[in-house]
Structure 1
């Protein structure tokens, strides 16, 4: 029986479309997946070329799949603070935060970017899991006066060392004043947008949230694309090579409802503020996890064997089982070939007592059709290494955008080296 290695994804009315679907499609999407019940462009033919375009220039992404849940009303601050594990009294109006939403057991339901637009108005820019009905259920149980709805707002990402130059041409010099993880409102050719200095790359970058996206998204896309032409802008899909290098998490892969924040480590444990006076869902469970220590930990691995794919090319269908001393002790959740490191790298959730740097495993990188059991046919050696693999202190996305733009293209390319 012949296996079709590249089956199509059906395009039809039943699955939602990003407000940028038709605009981004014109650039030659080669593969879609479904994210938040919405078609999402994964790549445009050559993920390795897209990786270098991100590192050396400027890229445009359709991320309209990041559905925007707005929380507003008299109790919006207290309610949102109940949902997330961070203390929002430390989040100013006009600031963004990367946050975890956990359930009563401490499991990670979502890891959105939170935008505080007003004292009592927030957006949750969602990762790939349903939160709208969860939040409404919590509000009903809590008896709080809040309005929770999905708003007609769609984001695009402009990422890479030349992203500031594009944004300056599009919006003016004031873009330089947007600090890392802060936001500002603008109007572009009559279109209201909110711009944040955030992104899923570990590079300098911005997200543009277009208001009334169902009406304005296509025109906004073209305005950004036109501004990018002088800077060699390329349209790409999410660059999973770069996010794995940067240790950035993917919900549904590296983190799930069954994963708690103390297991993923990597500095993310500070996102759980157990000392704040306010309560949040999962606080008691996470207090116990911290006291007892997590049973598993997410580690970085250098993986031997043949060169892996790019993660978003259909080459990693299942997690890779991790073997140690004759048994399976975890799984590789995301893995790829890093062109800069010239190594296979990955993130793996393993038993906590085997998480020390230098621990050596065997990893099964083979395909396992029709079974959840390891094939045992393609075991390769893997060793635990520090993570993130590149730019562990996140200095890259915090860089001085004006200095980078003034230095010209050669400096921009060098700065992207991590």
Structure 2
């Protein structure tokens, strides 16, 4: 394949030197930054993630910072999830919607203080939407992208590795909570979170200059734990039902279609710009929804949507798919019409390599 041409429009990260030294074999572009996609092979990286510990360069998860007296009001305008009970030190998974209820992003929101928040975003220009709302409503809030770059530590040995670098207190962080820890005299937020089902942490590295020192410290401390550079793994994320914004959902989908209705408190999330639209969706229910799908036979890489067909009619599409070594089938994520979304329903997937039989599963694999 052609390489990605370097430019100021595709930014390197504070950890790119370490990623390259570790032998990265593939990149994608995410929020106009480099995101590694494979090191040894997707299958080798998959098995290692499930058995040891990996350090991931996820600096592409840029932060949108809201700071000022109206920060909390602006946060609530962005999401149908009720944030009134959120306290400093908590992380919330947030559907971010527009005025029609369409998904704009699905970030993790961190409440640093009543008047200061970070939105750790998926791949979309959320900063511009947030700045537009702040300006249009004349809110007393500063919206900016700080020099904060997440570094993830994921896998069964993640807690052991993190304790060696940051001390045993890091073990006490609860799921979707964060605390402040010192590294080389710099205080950094560390959250018990990450884009895998294997458990781990995300370190919000403060300052580009601190990137490689922390990378080296983690690699050195984890030598006997078989630490490797890694990245979000396609197979493992599909097994776990972790959605990819821009692949499995777009602005054309509502949170309810994406299976995120449990994160929508539309009755009480007063102020959300998409609230009225989502009240109608919640009342009527979605006509299509994300489902786990098993696909038979050999499949090619899924780099486009594959139609789902039943009796000659299109009833949905597969948006992510891969062969699972642990589950002995092709695991997939798809958007399926309500007429065919029940577990056990069979239909056809039209892949570039031909038609394959597929079946809706009752849940995701992990």
Of 309, 313, 330, which residue of structure 2 is paired with 1:323?
A: 309
Matched, 1:282 2:274: yes
After superposition, the CA RMSD in angstroms is 1.3
Q: Distance in 2 between matches of 1:141 and 1:27?
A: 46
Residue in 1 aligned with 2:362?
386
Per-residue CA deviations over 1:335-385 (Å, capped at 9, x if unaligned) read 111111011010111212221111111101216xxxxxxxxxx10100111
- Residues 229-308 of structure 1 aligned to structure 2 (within 5 Å): 229-265=223-259, 268-276=260-268, 278-306=270-298, 308=299
Superposition TM-score, scaled by structure 1 size = 0.85
Q: Distance in 1 between matches of 2:302 and 2:294?
A: 16
Of 305, 308, 329, which residue of structure 2 is paired with 1:343?
A: 329
Residue in 2 aligned with 1:101?
96
Contact 2:83 2:269 in 1 (8 A): no
How many Å apart are 1:277 and its aligned residue?
Answer: 5.4
Per-residue CA deviations over 1:25-71 (Å, capped at 9, x if unaligned) read 11111111111111111111311111111111111110000011110
Q: Distance in 2 between matches of 1:386 and 1:18?
A: 39
Q: Distance in 2 between matches of 1:217 and 1:110?
A: 26
| 3-state SS in 2 of match to 1:275 | coil
Residue in 2 aligned with 1:18?
13
Contact 1:36 1:130 in 2 (8 A): yes
1:108–1:277 distance in 2 versus 1, CA, 3 Å: closer
How many Å apart are 1:127 and its aligned residue?
Answer: 0.2
Superposition TM-score, scaled by structure 2 size = 0.97
Structure (1 or 2) with the greater strand fraction:
2
- Residues 218-237 of structure 1 aligned to structure 2 (within 5 Å): 218-237=212-231
Q: Distance in 2 between matches of 1:55 and 1:80?
A: 35
Contact 2:235 2:322 in 1 (8 A): yes
Flag as ranges the 4+ runs of structure 1 deviating above 6 A: none
Structure 1: unaligned runs, 5 residues or longer:
1-5, 310-314, 368-377, 391-418
Q: Distance in 2 between matches of 1:200 and 1:257?
A: 21
Contact 1:19 1:64 in 2 (8 A): yes
Q: Distance in 2 between matches of 1:277 and 1:258?
A: 22
How many Å apart are 1:242 and its aligned residue?
Answer: 1.0
Q: Distance in 2 between matches of 1:136 and 1:100?
A: 18
Of 7, 28, 37, which residue of structure 1 is paired with 2:2?
A: 7
Structure 2: unaligned runs, 5 residues or longer:
none
Residue in 1 aligned with 2:47?
52
Greater mean alpha carbon deviation, residues 173-182 or residues 21-30: 21-30
Contact 1:40 1:65 in 2 (8 A): yes
Q: Distance in 2 between matches of 1:207 and 1:15?
A: 23
